[in-house]
């Protein structure tokens, strides 16, 4: 019997490998993803089975398809739609105003895209404040937190442990003693390096503290959103996490340049919705009630129509990414972008190059003082065609530039959490707020022009001066773009 097994061993191994390869082929083909990615995984899983399976488990699974099979989107719609539909119906006039604004300026397709994929018509955002520094953001946030009367919902990618967090936690402790409900949802991986003593004290005092995306097989897919909603009527989002370095640059940088935005009114319901959906996945608590979504919102005269887009590895449409592509494709005069990293997907990159070739003023501002050199090196592999097409690239040199913003033609503005890199565009949970308002766009263009004074322009001559070794290093970093 043993001799027969040894004699037939090669045939059995060949049969086992064939069955394994056939199973891999069926799984990958059924995923119906980009053929290049499918073939790459097929080669890896065929020639390095054990290593390939480990990589596929952590980095290659089709989470959109898995989400559809598990009914994630249907569950979210059933939970959110009744509450959100009531909000949309109450402010239908502002939705019409936003659509009219878009039609006059040629952005009807953008508004329709967001409505169809996110079911989110324009809503009024009131008292909008663009906050181009951590100092401004946290000064205002402390005031708003101290005035909270019923609920505070907080979600961040990073919550550090330092002087700033101590000040914020002191305010939250005082609010808890006054009966305010406090919920905190922070990304698990993003917060691994930081001590949790303050958060534990908040939890002991009655705050509900959770960490998102804790599953081992989702370690590569993170919640990068930053959301604060106070009493359901005041909201914050943007690029700034919680830590003293986001105010002064910390030990690594001479300064930190970032952009957040704060607004009030019905549009805050969109931020609350995104928080509530993730909260339900981590705690099974349903927040879709009048306590978190008021039946009426304060409505001062200074309101503008906005739409909120979101994206994640599970999303079918990845609306935030698609909105960028569509808006840039509509540009007639200029596209001004700020992003600390630049490792774009093909659609966004080709849209930028096409716009530059068509004479649109395409400008990309990214950090010249990197925190992640791998992503910084990879970005340089995308500079050549964009510069040759007429685009312009700037390195911000005064400190670390972490803002995620874009203006189109000086009348359309978006601010949020999404970098122009593969992780944000395809893997992370992100959000962007689109402001359909000329005045806000011009206000941000002025900030962009002021930032240019602290920039060095990256020229074609500088790119040509790279050594062959540096060019190879950059290309090698680009291969790992999904892992950067």
What's the CA gap between 433 and 1, in Å, rounded?
70
Dihedral angle sign, alpha carbons of residues 339, 345, 348, 350:
positive
Of 273, 324, 404, 444, catalytic = 404
345 is catalytic: no
Residue among 153, 176, 78 at smallest CA distance from 119: 78
Strands 227-230 and 151-156: antiparallel
Does residue 254 contact residue 398 with C-beta atoms inside 8 Å?
Answer: yes
Write down the residue that tokens 């540009």 correspond to: 331
Of 409, 429, 444, 451, catalytic = 409
224 is catalytic: yes
Residue among 326, 136, 131 at smallest CA distance from 237: 131
196 is catalytic: no
Does residue 242 contact residue 164 with C-beta atoms inside 8 Å?
Answer: yes
What's the CA gap between 203 and 184, in Å, rounded?
9
Buried b (16+ CB within 10 A) or exposed e, 67-87: beeeebeeebeebbeebbeeb
What's the CA gap between 261 and 437, in Å, rounded?
14
Query: Any idea what the Cα angle at residue 376 is, between residues 373 and 381, rounded to 5°?
Result: 130
Of 137, 144, 212, 224, catalytic = 224
Of 402, 428, 429, 444, catalytic = 402
Of 137, 187, 212, 226, catalytic = 226
Query: Residue 468 has which token pair?
Result: 């062959």
Report the SS3 class of residue 192: coil
Write down the residue that tokens 């898995």 correspond to: 66
Task: Sort 415 into a burial class: Cβ within 10 Å, 0-12 / 13-18 / 19+.
Answer: buried
Of 144, 212, 231, 315, catalytic = 231
Does residue 146 contact residue 175 with C-beta atoms inside 8 Å?
Answer: yes
Query: Residue 440 has which token pair?
Result: 């806000």
- φ, ψ of residue 413 in degrees (nearest 5): -130, 140
What's the CA gap between 435 and 450, in Å, rounded?
21
409 is catalytic: yes
404 is catalytic: yes
Catalytic residue list = 224, 226, 231, 402, 404, 409
């Amino acid at each position: 019997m043993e001799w027969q097994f040894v004699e037939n061993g090669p045939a059995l191994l060949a049969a086992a490998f064939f069955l394994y390869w056939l199973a891999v082929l069926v799984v990958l083909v059924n995923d119906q993803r980009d053929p290049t990615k499918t073939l790459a995984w097929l080669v890896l899983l065929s020639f390095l089975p054990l290593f390939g399976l480990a990589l596929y488990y952590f980095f290659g699974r089709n989470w959109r398809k898995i989400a559809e099979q598990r009914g994630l989107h249907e569950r979210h719609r059933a939970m959110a739609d009744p509450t959100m539909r009531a909000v949309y119906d109450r402010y239908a006039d502002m939705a019409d105003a936003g659509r009219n604004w878009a039609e006059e300026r040629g952005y009807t397709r953008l508004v329709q895209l967001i409505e169809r994929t996110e079911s989110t018509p324009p809503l009024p955002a009131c008292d909008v404040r663009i906050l181009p520094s951590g100092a401004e953001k946290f000064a205002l946030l402390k005031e708003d937190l101290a005035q909270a009367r019923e609920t505070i919902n907080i979600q961040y990618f990073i919550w550090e442990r330092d002087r700033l967090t101590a000040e914020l936690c002191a305010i939250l402790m005082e609010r808890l003693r006054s009966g305010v409900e406090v919920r905190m949802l922070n990304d698990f991986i993003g917060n691994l390096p930081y001590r949790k003593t303050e958060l534990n004290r908040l939890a002991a005092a009655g705050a509900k503290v959770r960490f998102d995306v804790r599953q081992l097989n989702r370690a590569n897919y993170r919640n990068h959103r930053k959301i604060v909603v106070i009493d359901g009527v005041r909201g914050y989002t943007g690029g700034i996490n919680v830590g003293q370095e986001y105010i002064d640059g910390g030990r690594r940088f001479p300064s930190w340049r970032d952009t957040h935005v704060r607004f009030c009114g019905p549009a805050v319901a969109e931020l609350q919705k995104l928080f509530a959906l993730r909260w339900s996945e981590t705690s099974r608590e349903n927040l879709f009630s009048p306590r978190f979504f008021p039946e009426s919102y304060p409505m001062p005269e200074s309101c503008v129509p906005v739409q909120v887009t979101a994206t994640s590895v599970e999303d079918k449409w990845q609306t935030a990414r698609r909105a960028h592509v569509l808006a840039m494709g509509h540009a007639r005069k200029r596209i001004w972008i700020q992003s600390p990293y630049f490792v774009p997907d093909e659609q966004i990159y080709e849209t930028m190059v096409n716009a530059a070739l068509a004479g649109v003023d395409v400008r990309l501002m990214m950090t010249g003082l990197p925190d992640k050199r791998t992503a910084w090196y990879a970005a340089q592999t995308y500079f050549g065609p964009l510069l040759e097409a007429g685009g312009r690239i700037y390195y911000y040199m005064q400190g670390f530039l972490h803002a995620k913003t874009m203006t189109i033609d000086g009348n359309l503005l978006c601010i949020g959490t999404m970098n122009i890199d593969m992780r944000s565009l395809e893997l992370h949970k992100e959000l962007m707020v689109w402001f359909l308002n000329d005045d806000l766009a011009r206000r941000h263009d002025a900030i962009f022009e002021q930032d240019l004074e602290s920039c060095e322009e990256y020229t074609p001559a500088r790119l040509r001066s790279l050594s062959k070794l540096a060019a190879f290093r950059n290309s090698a970093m680009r291969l790992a773009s999904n892992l950067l």
